[in-house]
Amino acid sequence: MSSSSTEKRRFSRVDFNTSTTISCDNHHWQSRLVDISLKGALIALPEEWAGKIGDEYKVAVILKEDEVSINMSASVAHIQDNCIGFRCEHIDFSSITHLRRLMELNLGDAELVNRELAMLDQI
């Protein structure tokens, strides 16, 4: 990662390999999550996906065998290295609760997660 990317990033990312579904209208693509943050997700580029920067999708990150998922409306922020970077535009209360817990468990720092959540209000 370049230093400019690191400097711009204000939210911690967690590597987390799990199933993910990207959908738009009646189109659905299965893929794998590469990493996730409070502000977005990096997802492996699925076959036959032809989106572009700025397009909006529904992203579902499956946490537990289709029982628990993090659902967000997201826009494509970048496409590179066979991955799609999604920026979270909207997330419901249940999903942000699951995401917060995932971040706390993987970062091992609840206070850091709380600070990042507070920063979301400033964006």
Q: Give the CA count within 13 Å in the CB-facing half-sphere of 15.
A: 0
DSSP per position, 18-77: -EEEEEETTEEEEEEEEEEETTEEEEEPPTT----TT-EEEEEEEEETTTEEEEEEEEEE
Is the pLDDT score of 7 beyond 60? no
pLDDT at 9: 56
| 90-118 confidence digits (pLDDT tens) | 999 999 888 988 888 877 878 878 787 78
Is the pLDDT score of 1 beyond 50? no
Q: Classify domain 3-120 by CATH number.
A: 2.40.10.220
Strand partners, 23: 28, 58
pLDDT at 123: 55
